[in-house]
Structure 1
Amino acid sequence: MRTTDLTATDVDERSLRSLRGWNLVLALLHIGQALAVLVLATDFAVTVTQSLPTGPPGTPPRSPEALFDVPIGAAVAVFLALAAVDHLLTATAFRRTYEDDLRGGINRFRWLEYSFSATLMVILIALYTGIDGVSALIGIAGANVAMILFGWLQESANPPGRSTVTMKPFWFGCIAGAAPWVAIAYNLVAAEQVPGFVVGIFVSLFLFFNSFALNQWLQYRQVGRWRSYAFGEKAYLILSLVAKSALAWQIFAGSLAT
């Protein structure tokens, strides 16, 4: 908990009660979808591979070897369940910490959950576009986690009552977060043939991810209703539900279509 006598804009008892209700409802909606996906899931999986060097630099690597399979239905259920756990804990066991954080203009629970759930989502779309090498996936995961943590740093660097606003963490996060999308876009463009549903998932995921960045940018540029930190927090909750739900069912439907 950060010690400050200043409170983020519009974070009062009324807004906190409203946010608690939103978190409880979102927890139920996310866990309900996770269970539905598990019930409907097939055994479709994508194999993660490795291609290791066989000699000095320049030596052709071995053909990719299978490492393990990622069951798509279970993976989709996991990132929905992660969101459900986050919303449930912030509305119950960690409610006091969550609300104290909001008063201080930050939500550490959001960034922790996103670093896992959003990264898993990006890995799934990478797998769908043919990026299945474990080394590439580790790099994509690392860049995405860095992007999320820069979002956390943006909030930490701009507490209530600040005399100036720094956007450096935000823009650094944008740079880090762009790397996975460049890699995924390259595979889409370079491939001879890409299923239409994969292109649709890519476009949807890209737009949704950028909507979270836009929400933070609007918050710290104090645009319209985003002058209220409580409004920005509610926007994050709505985006979490819409983005995760839409992308979960797109990815899951893609597993049924293959």
Structure 2
Amino acid sequence: MTPQTTSTGVDDPALTSLRRWNLGLTALHLAQAVAMLILASDFAITVIGSYPQGPPGTALAEAEPIFDVRIGVAVTLFLALAGIDHLLTATVFRRHYENDLRRGINTFRWVEYSLSATIMLVLIAFYSGIVEITALIALIGANVAMILFGWLQEVMNPPGRTTTTMLPFWFGCIAGGAPWVAIGWNLLAAEVVPGFVYGIFVSLFVFFMSFALNQWLQYRQVGRWHSYAFGEKGYLVLSLVAKTALAWQIFGGSLAG
């Protein structure tokens, strides 16, 4: 018997369908990016730093502003990154994208997520009150590590494998969970939190965890997730819904006028 070399469900009709999906998602993401750039106010959040003034245990100095982040621009950026990714995979890099899918990998997905999802997480952290530079760097590192573990999960489980390892998946869950613990802690400790911020936290936590669930279902080959192409569509839907939900919750809460 010839070893399987192509992912289950990744045939010519599925790839044609995915191209149409990517073109559609290009339009939806870029249209939202343009709308956000036009409609959003100049609201910004300041990133701060507070540094030790002596030996360990010495009180930190009063926090100093480092730079401002225009929230509307940041939201526009993560929407535009997704749109550009979908455009490239449907056109210029279509062959590379489709060859990757046949091998059970989507490198474009993981590169885009490492940028767009990290911007999203930083914005969620901002709205929970985490604005200190070193804390943000740590959250960024944990989130990128989570995404790279997702990539590694695909690399380590090619089509035709005799066994499936979930080790990178579980390591990614640990890395990806840490920022949410920090954000949740801040929300619980805060005296006043606007209702829309709770909405952002709950909805985006559910969406971020849904990406993990989609991958778990893929590698456990549960039901329709036996097809790698079906799991790929799951990622496409989740990416659009999560980005749209965060963008317009932020807009409604702080950028509308």
Q: Normalised by the shorter chain, which TM-score bucket?
A: over 0.9
Aligned to 2:178: 179
Would the aligned equivalents of 2:146 and 2:173 in 1 still touch at CA under 8 Å?
yes
Q: Deviations over 1:37-86 (max 9, x none)?
A: 01101010100000011111111111110001111111000000000010
Asked if 2 retains the 8 angstrom alpha-carbon contact of 1:72 and 1:252, the reply is no
CA distance in 2, matches of 1:183, 1:132: 12
DSSP-derived class of the 1:11 partner? coil
Which residue number corresponds to residue 53 of structure 2?
Answer: 54
- 1:99 is paired with a residue whose SS is helix
Distance between the aligned counterparts of 2:241 and 2:185, measured in 1? Answer: 27
- Render the CA deviation track for 1:75-120: whole Å, top value 9, x for unaligned: 0000000000100000011111000000000100000000010011
The separation in 1 between residues aligned to 2:252 and 2:50, in whole angstroms, is 30
1:247 & 1:131 partners in 2: Cα distance?
Answer: 17
Structure 1's unaligned 5+ residue stretches are none
Shift, 1:254, TM fit: 1.7
2-side partners of 1:173 and 1:145: how far apart? 9
Instruction: State the SS of the aligned residue for 1:131.
Output: coil
Q: Report matched runs for 1:184-203 at 5 Å.
A: 184-203=183-202
SS of 1:49's partner is strand
CA contact (8 A) 1:50 1:67 kept: yes
Deviation string, structure 1 residues 164-189 (Cα, Å, up to 9, x no partner): 00000000000000110010000000
Residue of structure 2 equivalent to 1:208: 207
Query: Is the 8 Å Cα contact of residues 83 and 117 (structure 1) preserved in structure 2?
Result: yes
Q: How far did 1:234 drift?
A: 0.8
Match of 2:150 in 1: 151
Q: Is the 8 A contact 2:4 2:160 kept in 1?
A: no
SS in 2 for 1:47: strand
TM-score (norm 1): 0.97
Question: How does the TM-score come out when normalised to structure 2?
Answer: 0.97
Structure-to-structure mapping, 1:1-258, within 5 angstroms: 6-256=5-255
Q: Is the 8 A contact 2:33 2:80 kept in 1?
A: yes
CA RMSD of aligned residues (A): 1.2
Runs (4 or more) in structure 1 with deviation over 6 Å come to none
Indicate if the aligned counterparts of 1:131 and 1:184 stay in contact, CA closer than 8 A: yes
Count of aligned pairs = 255
Look up the SS of the partner of 2:8 in the other structure: coil
**CA offsets, 1:115-158, max 9 Å, x none?**
01001101001011110000000000000000000000000000
Q: Report SS of the residue matched to 1:63.
A: coil
Equivalent residues of 1:119, 1:141 under 8 A apart:
yes
Q: Cα 1:257–1:59, aligned 2, differ >3 Å: closer, same or farther? A: farther
**Structure 2 contact 50–64 (Cα < 8 Å) conserved:** yes
The answer (yes or no) to whether the contact 2:4–2:159 under 8 Å persists in 1 is: no
